[in-house]
Structure 1
Amino acid sequence: MTTASGLPAIRESVQWAVMDAPGGSPAVVALAEAAVEHYALNYSKHPPVVLLEEVRATRSLLSSAVAGADPSIARDLRRQVGWLSALLGNLSYHLDDRPGARAHLTLAGALGESTGEAALTAWSSGALAMVATAREDWHHAREHAQYGLQHAPEGLRRAQLLGWALLPALAALKRTPEADDIIDEGDEIMRSAVELPGRFGYDRAEHRLHVAEAHLTLERYGHAADVARESIAAAPAETPGWAAATLVLALAEARESPSQAAARALGVLDLISPPRLRATARERLTRLGRLLDSSTGGPAAELAERLRVLPAPIRPDGTAA
């Protein structure tokens, strides 16, 4: 559990540790690991813009300690700077800063390589595939996904790279047989895998979300709706994962049940405040708005108006809304 005041307290503890040992120490390394775990486990509890500021400040504190540390301590600190950079990349992506996401994730991957942290290399590659997919750069998306799979340990990590990184690109390219093979392999792994919590973890709810989105991309709307319902059932209510699965379900229903789809989206907007609404959710809402005919009135018209006045998480001057 965490609170809004507990979030900056983590950064303050790191600051005190670095003040006590400016050149780094085993205690600073242990505290850095704990900070990464805290941010990853509580990733969905804070608005992305707020968490980004805290993670950035903590990374800066650790960076200052690396310069004067002995080689073994410096390597361990660089590993945690890598994980913090991975978090910054994902947060930037959720704030619709794709170039920033690429920069942070590229650094994270490089630090994973240089410190021998295979899980960091794999995860960062998967996230880079996600960013490439968002800009419809399917070639690089597949390259990043395949590179991540080369470093991912067997089991849950492999299922994560398959479902999160490789499957979206294959579905977008309409490589249906290959996409179905990936779905089958990922499903088989998830049947026996032990789920991991947090931003760097993976669970059934997230896995089913990626499968549902693949079915949606392949225009298998009935399958997409069924699997999205499984994701909703497995996700804690009113979390970003729940919102994502609910909006995928709405997109799958939009052609046959437009009023119901619009009502689902309105429910998400009622429960998730604008600062907590990730760029990925906003993109799904925009897609849904395009599918619905708001001229007919009812929920579709209400959704169109809600989206029109939806405030962005970042103001035009770069400050948080």
Structure 2
Amino acid sequence: MTTASGLPAVRESLRLALLNAPYGGPLVVELAEATVEHYALNYSRHPPVILFDEVHAARGLLGDALATPADATTGAELRRAAGWLSGLLGNLAFHLADHSGARAHLAVAAAFGDQVGDAHLSAWVLGAQSMVARARHERTVALAYAQAGAEKAASPLGRAQLLGWAVLPSLAQLGRAAEAERVLEEATGLLAADPAGGAPGRFGFDAPELDLHEAEAWLALGRTDRAIRRAEASTAGCAPYTPGWAAATLVLAQAEAPARPGDAAARALDVLERVPADRLRFTSRERLRQVAAALGDADIATVRDLRERLRALPPPIDVHGRGATA
């Protein structure tokens, strides 16, 4: 658990360690690793714009130590930490609809991961780059990133993550159903065999997340019945009112929209009631748009209410560069 004041407190601890050892050392490395872990585990507890600023500030503290580290080992470990922090920044930029910023941060993360030989970091970044490419409608590029990440994965769970998060949706968007089925079967088996049943945090992977990606894949492939079942499973497995819950609920609403427009619009309205605007990620905003599109010309009260709420929804970042507020 963390509080809003816990974010700057972690950064302050890293700053104090660097004041004591400006060029790094065991304590600075430990604090940098703990900082990455703290941000990753608490990623979903804070509005993206606030967490982005914190991660950015923490990474900036490492600049001098990265430039002139106390020794080679310290330099390598700090580059590793800076790579993970850059990966977080890329993901946060994506969730703020800043795709060009996401590409820049992820490119830095990829470079650090390759430089220090961290296969987990390198594979995860390739998955994130695939996610950004899909959002930019670069489907073949997205698949190439995804497949490279799956090949580089450092563990069975890591491979399950790359298959479910990156390869499966890329294949589904390309309409390659048979391959998507095979990838899904492998990912499901790998996740089921994991002794812990998955891992928490931004860099982790679990059954509700796989259910979400499977549901979206079935939607893309026109299998609404299967999409509904997997979206329902994902929603049931998520803590209520979290970003994962919002994503699964909106995928379920999109799948239901053609046959049950009133129920679908009510689900989308519930997300808007439960999740403040500053916590709505770009991905949820895009899913809201997809729900509205799937509702077509339905003219009932809940659908009209949803369209009005969406028109009034502030952008994640306004024309002055300010983040959305609730």
Give the TM-score of the pair, scaled to structure 2. 0.97
Q: Deviations over 1:96-132 (max 9, x none)?
A: 0111111111111111010011100000000001111
Aligned to 1:210: 213
Contact 1:294 1:304 survives alignment (8 Å):
no
Cα shift at 1:188: 1.2
Other-structure match for 1:104? 105
What residue number does 1:125 align with? Answer: 126
Mapped partners of 1:297, 1:171: distance in 2: 32
Task: Write the deviation string for residues 187-233 of structure 1: whole angstroms up to 9, x where unpaired.
Answer: 11121212100000000110110000000100100100000011111
Structure 2 residue aligned with 1:57: 57
Deviates more, 1:295-304 or 1:196-205: 295-304
Paired with 2:85 and 2:302, the residues of 1 have a C-alpha distance of 41
Counterpart code for 1:258 = P
**Cα distance, 1:140 vs. partner?**
1.1
The Cα shift of 1:295 comes to 6.1
Partner residue in 2 for 1:185: 186
Structure 2 spans left out of the alignment, 5+ residues: none
More divergent stretch after superposition (145-154 vs 102-111): 145-154
Kept in 1, the 8 Å contact 2:208–2:238? The answer is: yes
What aligned pairs does 1:138-287 form with structure 2 within 5 A after superposition? 138-193=139-194, 194=196, 195-287=198-290
**Which residue among 291, 312, 317 is the counterpart of 1:314?**
317
- Distance in 2 (CA, whole Å) between partners of 1:320 and 1:111 is 29
Deviates more, 1:308-317 or 1:111-120: 308-317
| Change in 2 beyond 3 A, CA 1:267/1:294 | farther
- Cα contact 1:102–1:128 (8 A) shared by 2: yes
Alignment length, in residue pairs?
Answer: 321
Contact 1:216 1:224 in 2 (8 A): yes
Deviations 1:150-184 (A, max 9, x none): 21023111110001011111001110100011111
Partner of residue 42, structure 1: 42
Partner Cα separation in structure 2 for residue 295 and residue 219 of structure 1: 20
Distance 1:151 1:293, change over 3 A: closer
Instruction: Report the Cα offset of residue 274 of structure 1.
Output: 0.1
Structure 1 residue 290 displacement after superposition: 1.7
Q: CA deviation at 1:291?
A: 2.1
1:317 aligns to what SS in structure 2? coil
SS at match of 1:199: coil
- Cα deviation for residue 294 of structure 1 reads 5.9
In the alignment, the residues of structure 1 paired with residue 315 and residue 9 of structure 2 have an alpha-carbon distance, to the nearest angstrom, of 27
2:156/2:190 contact within 8 Å kept: yes
CA apart distance, 1:64: 2.1
Q: Deviations over 1:216-275 (max 9, x none)?
A: 100100100000011111111110001000000000000100110000000000000000
SS at match of 1:141: helix
Counterpart residue identity of residue 94, structure 1: H
Contact map agreement 2:282 2:316 (CA 8 A) in 1: no
With the length of structure 1 as denominator, give the TM-score of the two structures. Answer: 0.98
Q: Say if 2:262 and 2:300, in contact at 8 Å, map to a contact too.
A: no
Partners of 1:228 and 1:259 in 2: CA distance: 18
The answer to whether the 8 Å contact 1:22/1:68 transfers is no
Match of 1:22, SS state, is coil
CA contact (8 A) 1:293 1:300 kept: no
Over the matched positions of the two proteins, sequence identity in percent amounts to 52
Alignment-mate amino acid for residue 271 of structure 1: R
1:95 aligns with 2:96: yes
3-state DSSP class of the match of 1:296? coil
Supply the RMSD in Å over aligned alpha carbons.
Answer: 1.0
In structure 2, what is the Cα distance between the partners aligned to 1:115 and 1:242? 35
| Equivalent residues of 2:177, 2:221 under 8 A apart | yes
* Runs (5+) with no aligned partner, structure 1: none
